[in-house]
Amino acid sequence: MDETNQMMSMMSESAQGPMAGMDMAMVQRCIEACSACEQACTMCSGSMMSMEGMSGSAMCMNCAETCNTMMRMMLRPLPMNERDMAAMMAMLQATSVMCRACADDCSAMGDSAYATMCAQVCRNCADACDAMTASMKPMMTA
């Protein structure tokens, strides 16, 4: 069993309460999108630091931190009640908003290959967070 399948299996086994019905492949995609976004934003910010007159992008650094926090939150195998799910959904929404803002910021950077790549990875992460949020809504009882 490869590492990804093993991790999904472990996450499925630890899911309890409302999370027991969660699509673990979607969870894995969201975790991977957050990880990729954290890396892309860190690289993009670092590349901007080496440009004359640029001190790095605070937006990229903030986005990297937000994605890291979201990823770690999804990796914690704990039984979730509705309050935990509401917090998770709020964090997913915040991550999506941060990723879209960072994508817009990087798109405005012009010719930078790092910024172009970062913008696309940020959009992908926002889409993954939005899909995860949508999949969780039916699990909430209102």
- Is the separation of the CB atoms in 94 and 126 below 8 Å? no
pTM: 0.83
pLDDT tens figures, 46-59: 888 776 555 457 89
pLDDT tens figures, 1-56: 565 555 555 555 555 455 556 788 898 999 999 999 999 999 999 888 776 555 45
Contacts of 99 (CB under 8 A, 6+ apart): 37, 63, 66, 67, 122, 123, 125, 126, 129
For residue 133, pLDDT over 80 is answered with yes
Token code pair at residue 53: 């007159």
- Is the separation of the CB atoms in 124 and 38 below 8 Å? no
